[in-house]
């Protein structure tokens, strides 16, 4: 874990140095677009990435997340600081957000996540977030990707965290939604888009924004 932390710090510092060497004739980068993937408990590495970005004074301009990345993204964008996120991560247990059940759809329900999210989130809707956020999920029946960027926060985050086969699907607007089967977040090169695989909708990144992809514990800079 220490080696991973050092690797993340070196990577982000290198990105920061690269941004500082952009020729003066070029428009300066306006910030960082952060794409947070899944990975259950390993998603705690996302908090470390965000902390390093803040320490390097690299502003995060928008976030896209799936699974645990959606949870951490929603909490951070709602106003929680990294210290608060770390404290929650150390204290949270399965019983705080899920319970066992018997169903052909899975053997656990994340219904308890409603209360958990209502306690930790500082806002209730996407529109109130201090940083724009996109949360991804998948239609259980059709396999179609779904992106949430407006409306209530809690249920989209629950749906994005409903790992198929383990957690029951979450029903939103008559659709049963689950975590993306392929949780890797793809980036459309040179187009300023964050595109989770299998999702047709796209979240446009502001011009001159560097997009970082965090899949589990890896960090990959993309773009020119």
Which residues are the active-site residues? 67, 179
In the chain, what are the helix, strand and coil shares in percent, each to the nearest 5? 35, 30, 35
Could you give the 3-state DSSP secondary structure of residue 161?
A: coil
Could you give the 3-state DSSP secondary structure of residue 69?
A: helix
Contacts of 162 (CB under 8 A, 6+ apart): 106, 110, 137, 168, 169, 170, 177, 178, 179
Please state, in angstroms and rounded to a whole number, the distance separating the CA atoms of residues 144 and 198. Answer: 7
Decide if 167 contacts 110 (C-beta within 8 A).
Answer: yes
Could you give the 3-state DSSP secondary structure of residue 50?
A: helix
Please state, in angstroms and rounded to a whole number, the distance separating the CA atoms of residues 47 and 143. Answer: 30
Decide if 30 contacts 72 (C-beta within 8 A).
Answer: no
Please state, in angstroms and rounded to a whole number, the distance separating the CA atoms of residues 213 and 139. Answer: 23
Count of residues making up the chain:
224
């Amino acid at each position: 874990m220490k080696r991973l932390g050092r690797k993340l710090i070196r990577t982000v510092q290198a990105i920061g140095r690269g941004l500082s060497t952009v020729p003066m004739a070029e428009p300066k980068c306006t910030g960082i677009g952060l794409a947070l993937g899944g990975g259950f408990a390993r998603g705690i590495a996302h908090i470390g990435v965000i902390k390093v970005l803040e320490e390097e004074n690299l502003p995060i301009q928008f976030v896209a997340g799936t699974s645990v990345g959606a949870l951490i993204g929603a909490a951070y964008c709602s106003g929680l600081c990294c210290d608060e996120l770390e404290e929650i991560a150390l204290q949270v247990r399965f019983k705080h957000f899920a319970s066992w059940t018997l169903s052909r759809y899975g053997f656990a329900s994340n219904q308890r996540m409603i209360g958990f999210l209502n306690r930790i989130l500082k806002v209730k809707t996407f529109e109130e977030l201090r940083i724009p956020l996109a949360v991804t999920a998948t239609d259980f029946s059709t396999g179609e990707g779904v992106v949430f960027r407006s409306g209530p926060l809690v249920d989209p985050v629950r749906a994005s965290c409903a790992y198929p086969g383990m957690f029951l699907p979450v029903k939103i607007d008559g659709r049963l939604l689950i975590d993306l089967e392929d949780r890797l977040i793809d980036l459309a090169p040179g187009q300023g888009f964050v595109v989770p695989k299998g999702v047709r909708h796209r979240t446009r990144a502001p011009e001159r924004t560097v997009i970082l992809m965090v899949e589990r514990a890896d960090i990959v800079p993309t773009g020119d």
